[in-house]
Amino acid sequence: MAKKVPVQVTLNGEERAEFVESGATLLNALRGRFGDTSPKGGCHQGTCGACSVIIDGELKLSCLTLAEACDGAEIVTTAGLATNSAMHPLQRAFAEGFAAQCGFCTPGMIMAAKALLDQKPDPTREDVIEALSGNICRCTGYEPIIQAVLAAAAASPHKAA
């Protein structure tokens, strides 16, 4: 029996605590223990980006992050972006821009895009490309995803002013 350790986090604004196996990745802990399956395990080796989450404001690959190292951290995943069932502008832009096909890469893409827009609400196409370059998509050819991120930026509230 592997040793279990307590991990307390703020997950999408909610305080949560679970026992996880010592050495477990945050990806497996989120999916298996915390019941948040929005981060996907596309490779478990840090090369596809499907597991991307935001930890204390920074984009991280949850498959390369130890769950126990996140004790006390604030974690945001794609499952936590919608507020009162209203989609986040990025989610809306992906949906309206036909930027998801199988959808498996989508939560990771949205996390990478959110991390970008949080830092740079007004990104250039090059910024978007750079931000998405750790995320693999096999279906879309990327262009619709790039367009969706740009559209979400253009639609974001700070523009309204």
Partner 1 sequence: MIRLAKEYFADQRDDDLKQLGQAFHRSDVPGHVTGKTNYFADRSFPGMLHLKMVRSPHHHARIRSIDTSEAEKHPGVARVLTHKDVPHNVYTILILIQIGPEDEQVLAADKVRWKGEAVVAVLADSERAAQEAAAKVKVDYEVLPAVLDMEAALKPGAPIVNEYHGQNYYRYDSGACRKVRFGDVEKGFAEADHILEQTYRSSPIEQAPAETTGCIVVPEGNDRFTCYTNTQALFFSLDNTSIILQMPGHKLRFVGGTVGGGFGGKVDVTTEPIAILASKLTGRPVSFIYSREEEMQVSSPRAAETIVIKDGVMNDGRIVARYVKGYTDAGAYSRHSPYGAQKGAAHYPGPYTIENVWADTYCVYTNRTPSSAMRGFGVTIADFALEVQMDKLARLIGMDPLEFRFINAYRDGDMKAHRQPTEGAALIECMQEASKAANWPVAEKYLRMSSYKGG
Partner 2 sequence: MAIRRGRGVAAVNYPTGMNLGGDPSQALVHSTPTGNFMVTLSSVDLGQGLKQIMAQICAETIGVPAELVTIDTGDTDTGPHCMGTFASRGTHRIGNAVIQAATEARQVMLEVAAEELEVNASDLETDGTGNIHVKGAPQKAISIFDTALAAHFKRGRSISGRGMFLVPRSYPEVETGAMKPATCYAHACTVVEVDVDDETGEVTVVSVKNVFEIGRALNPRMVEQQLVGGSWMGLSHALYETTEPYYPNREHGGTDFNQYLMPGPGDLAETEIIVLERPAADGPYGAKGPGEMCANPQIPAVANAIFDAVGVRIDHLPITPERILRALRAQAAPAGA
Give me the least distance between CB of 127 and partner 2, in Å please. Answer: 11
Q: Cα–Cα distance between 133 and 143 in angstroms, integer? A: 12
Give me the least distance between CB of 76 and ligand FES, in Å please. Answer: 16
Does residue 49 touch ligand FES according to CB under 6 A?
Answer: yes
Does residue 45 touch partner 2 according to CB under 8 A?
Answer: yes
Task: Choose from partner 1, ligand FES, partner 2, none: what does 107 bind? Cβ within 5-8 Å by kind.
Answer: partner 1
Beta strands 4-11 and 14-21: pairing type?
A: antiparallel
Does residue 44 touch ligand FES according to CB under 6 A?
Answer: yes
- Measured from the CB atom, the residue of 19 and 72 that comes closer to partner 1 is 19
Nearest to 26, CA basis, from 58, 1, 157, 155: 58
Does residue 50 touch partner 1 according to CB under 8 A?
Answer: yes
Exactly one of 50, 59, 75, 76 binds ligand FES (CB under 6 A); that residue is 50
109, two tokens: 């893409």
Q: What residue ranges bind partner 2 (CB under 8 A)? A: 43, 45, 47-48, 98, 101-104, 128-130, 132-133, 136, 138-146
- Residue numbers of the site for ligand FES (CB under 6 A)? 41-44, 46-51, 61, 63, 100-105, 137-140
